[in-house]
Amino acid sequence: MAMALLAIVFTCALSLFAPLCSPAAASSPEFPPALLQASPHRWQVIAAVIIVALQTLLIFALLSNQMQRRQAEADMLRMNAELEARVAERTRDLERANRELRFAKDAQEMLNGILRKMNEELDRNARTDMLTGLVNRRDMTEKMHVELDKYRQTGRGFSLVIGDIDHFKQINDGYGHNAGDMLLRAVAERLRQVVRPDDTVARWGGEEFLCLLPETELVGAMAVAERMRAAVADHEFCWSGCPVSISITFGVSSVGPADNIDDILHRADQALYRGKQSGRNRVFVAPLPESLEMAR
Contacts for 278 with CB less than 8 Å, ≥ 6 apart: 284, 295
Give yes or no for residue 23 having a pLDDT over 50: yes
The structure's pTM equals 0.64
Query: Higher pLDDT residue, 54 or 125?
Result: 125
Which of 264, 255, 134 shows the shortest CA–CA distance to 188? Answer: 134
Determine what percent of the chain is predicted with pLDDT higher than 70.
Answer: 81
Look at residue 150 and give its three-state secondary structure. Answer: helix
Residue among 84, 207, 215, 293 flagged as catalytic: 207
Identify the burial level of 67 via C-beta atoms within 10 angstroms of its C-beta, where 0-12 means exposed, 13-18 middle and 19 or more buried.
exposed
Which amino acid belongs to residue 148?
L
- Give the pLDDT of residue 288: 60
Look at residue 133 and give its three-state secondary structure. Answer: coil
The CA-CA-CA angle for residues 244, 249, 252, to 5°, reads: 150
Which of 261, 156, 134 shows the shortest CA–CA distance to 217? Answer: 156
Average pLDDT (62-84) is 87
Q: Which of 52-56, 247-251, 258-262 has the lowest mean pLDDT?
A: 52-56
Which of 206, 223, 234 shows the shortest CA–CA distance to 285? Answer: 223
The 8-class DSSP code of residue 156 comes to -
pLDDT band at 215; cut points 50, 70, 90: very high
Identify the burial level of 137 via C-beta atoms within 10 angstroms of its C-beta, where 0-12 means exposed, 13-18 middle and 19 or more buried.
middle
> According to DSSP H, which parts of the chain are helical?
2-17, 23-27, 31-37, 40-127, 137-154, 168-175, 177-194, 218-233, 261-277
Determine what percent of the chain is predicted with pLDDT higher than 90.
Answer: 56
Is 207 annotated as catalytic? yes
Average pLDDT (196-222) is 96
Question: Which long-range CB contacts under 8 A does 16-23 form with residues at least 24 apart?
Answer: 16/42, 16/45, 16/46, 16/49, 17/42, 17/46
Domains and CATH numbers, the chain: 1-127 (no CATH), 137-285 (3.30.70.270)
* Chain mean pLDDT for the chain: 85
